[in-house]
Structure 1
């Protein structure tokens, strides 16, 4: 399934799949399952091609939109002015439910299909459970209560959609991921989920719910697997470094494949406007750059030009197609796991052990270790370390939401910058797309 990554094609990504694919003539072979599992993974390419990264960064104190021609309503992420019809609101919702539709198709029929290998059959079931859970975890973070669909739903019955409480969705996420952990292999093909990827997403969901002991248990198993390690920063980014020992789960892109349809547009979208095709949709805030210690090697991952600061984590396309870069996207990497584990341990009385994991990340960056075991001080230190380590990768806004400090942090930031922007409490959730509210029984999030 080719995925177009140019902005003009986002509407195409939002189209709900045709239910005709469910006909008995099609959906009765392992090959049909394989193609739909592949489509589920390819759906993640479209979802993470643009808006998900900007939602995680521009909405925070990390980044802003410099280029005035960035469209899709992304400038509204910067000043919290988005509406029920803004591009990212619709695109993330529709693309996520597109992916959920594919996973539900597989889950509805896979038990009745004879595979030559029961192991392969179990792995495919585990993969779609992982993808569905991953999508629902994102949806609940962004929109709050959302329709929980675990069966194939014909679009003609969309009027019946109602929102399900987050608690019920969380229970489904947990059940699905625990089953996925049992079914998935220790190691899977590149870009496919395995046991540790499922543990990482489950841990993220637990942490969002304040279930830090449960999160620590999952994260400790990832660390204890011995499968991962931190690599030198020079070996972390770029096509030549894909599949390194830090990659827990990443979304795959490739240049010059299927008519240049499987590449990424990260370099084009997120680096500064220049003759290499940079578009400037995500510049780092100067105040953020100035927070870095001079000895911090990660500061060198930001290019500085004419008082503009851009993350240098992506590479240009090898051809003239700006949407055909080869960079994968890290959904979870080992440094993220270590910092989540440090946070979870600190919240459950294990501050001394938390220091070990925090300082492992700091050492790789060329920094000295932190020694405090004061829980509040260490909490802030871990949060700051996540900013330095993961900037530009789409994590910051979700981290602020998890901490409960999103609104206060952003209002303090805007005040310090002299910007006349006040974030209201209701902005911690995006609105349900107006197109959905108009045709269903769903109630809109308050404030919109």
Structure 2
């Protein structure tokens, strides 16, 4: 069997097992030497350990749908919908340190880091001759990419966090009560991991897209580096441009596809995709669409979650963007009262529509972890920041043209930056990007405090009271109780 198919079948097998067994909090139970030594001795075990590390993308609530709450619901894109008070906190920007989703997502991400750390530490010790030095380096590179991806989510959402780069093998407080590292140190670790990964990873693992889009590649590492250098406080747009161009010109042949192909369920692992979660709808099924889609698709009449906002619908309409609006939201009569769209039952309400494929409550729909349009718009952002506003407009037009829109009209650097930010909103709504964009462009307070959202049930305008401190989430109180070394973020 070729390496390509070993990779695929190891990944599928481990994801199927891990989807059932994965814990939702950081497991701090001791790991015996005997268990560790017996588990990581062969090439097959090495591939299985790596597949288990990838499992976080398909098993954790954070990557299945919580990141949409963290970014889209917390912003001007969506309302919480549903009936979960913890989600309403995200919607209303009054998130507390005891919010169960804040703690769950923190735990999900550190659980992913724990699995990546185990791979990074144990794989170099394997002496199985069937595991080549090249493949060892690739496995470690993939695990470093995964660790970097998780830490990027942590630092964006919480700021400085504990840096854990070795597997947890003890419950001794002196070993596990790690204080928060600085934001700069976390980003430095992310950049180091991604640089190492880019050097070790191939452009592709062969001709099978279902493998190439499931695994970290050189293109994935470069794409994430472009995002990191744009998002970090001491951003470096020269490096953003360098890494964006590396992706755009990659031998992997990334290319834009029609916008509808991204979400119709028939074009997974397409040429625009750089990395995506791999749900097969059976053993590895995405359950979130059953909580999002309208009654006509789910055959259920209870209230669904993540409702597109009036402000988002207006943004599409103001731009004349019919193509992306129709792929992002689906209007339908809702057999419940919606406090923003309809104060009466059976009013016309929009539903999130990018994850729309559903069979027997399970779905193959997935979020794109990385896709080319993001990289192209990051390139436009970098060009504009570097004073090349006309060139930025050319890059921006590549994305607008696909949506049936014309050339951007912005001519000044300030206007172009705003045009790029707005374009990103329309392109990536319901893909967990909006909050990061608002923070990066320095517009979170302005945008959120300018919203004119009226609760139709109470007749009252929603006051978001957005402040600089609310750009970050609170450190989970459960973690602070467990680890006295953790300090809280300002404002909480």
- What SS class does the counterpart of residue 407 from structure 2 fall into? coil
- What SS class does the counterpart of residue 266 from structure 2 fall into? helix
State the match for 1:145 in structure 2.
160
**1:340 aligned onto 2:397:** no
**1:224 aligned onto 2:249:** yes
Distance 1:413 1:5, change over 3 A: farther
Selected match of 1:403 from 441, 455, 466: 441
State the match for 1:20 in structure 2.
31
State the match for 2:490 in structure 1.
446
Q: Name structure 1 gaps, 5 residues minimum.
A: none
| 2:381–2:417 Cα contact (<8 Å) kept | yes
State the match for 1:134 in structure 2.
149
State the match for 1:255 in structure 2.
281
Q: Give distance in 1, aligned partners of 2:391 and 2:134.
A: 38
Give a deviation string over 1:396-440, Cα, whole Å, max 9, x none: 011111122212211111578832331233211111111111121
Q: Give distance in 2, aligned partners of 1:328 and 1:58.
A: 18
Q: Give distance in 2, aligned partners of 1:155 and 1:424.
A: 39
Selected match of 2:268 from 233, 242, 260: 242
State the match for 1:276 in structure 2.
298
Q: Name structure 2 gaps, 5 residues minimum.
A: 1-13, 206-210, 333-346, 456-460
State the match for 1:290 in structure 2.
314
Give a deviation string over 1:52-111, Cα, whole Å, max 9, x none: 1221110000000222x246x111100012211112211111011111111111111211
CA drift at 1:30: 2.5
CA drift at 1:342: 0.4
Q: Give distance in 2, aligned partners of 1:220 and 1:76.
A: 39
Distance 1:87 1:277, change over 3 A: farther
Give a deviation string over 1:194-216, Cα, whole Å, max 9, x none: 00111111111100122111111
CA drift at 1:228: 1.2
Q: Give distance in 1, aligned partners of 2:154 and 2:321.
A: 38
- Report matched runs for 1:46-65 at 5 Å: 46=60, 47-65=62-80
| 2:320–2:405 Cα contact (<8 Å) kept | no
- What SS class does the counterpart of residue 256 from structure 1 fall into? coil
TM value normalised by structure 1: 0.92
RMSD between aligned alpha carbons? 2.3
State the match for 2:231 in structure 1.
208
CA drift at 1:277: 5.0
Give a deviation string over 1:153-199, Cα, whole Å, max 9, x none: 23513552110001111111111101100101101423111001111
| 2:277–2:368 Cα contact (<8 Å) kept | yes
TM value normalised by structure 2: 0.84
Larger Rg: 2
- What SS class does the counterpart of residue 138 from structure 2 fall into? helix
Q: Give distance in 2, aligned partners of 1:86 and 1:132.
A: 25
- What SS class does the counterpart of residue 193 from structure 2 fall into? helix
| 2:116–2:143 Cα contact (<8 Å) kept | yes
CA drift at 1:378: 0.4
Q: Give distance in 1, aligned partners of 2:246 and 2:23.
A: 40
Q: Give distance in 2, aligned partners of 1:20 and 1:56.
A: 35
- What SS class does the counterpart of residue 49 from structure 1 fall into? helix
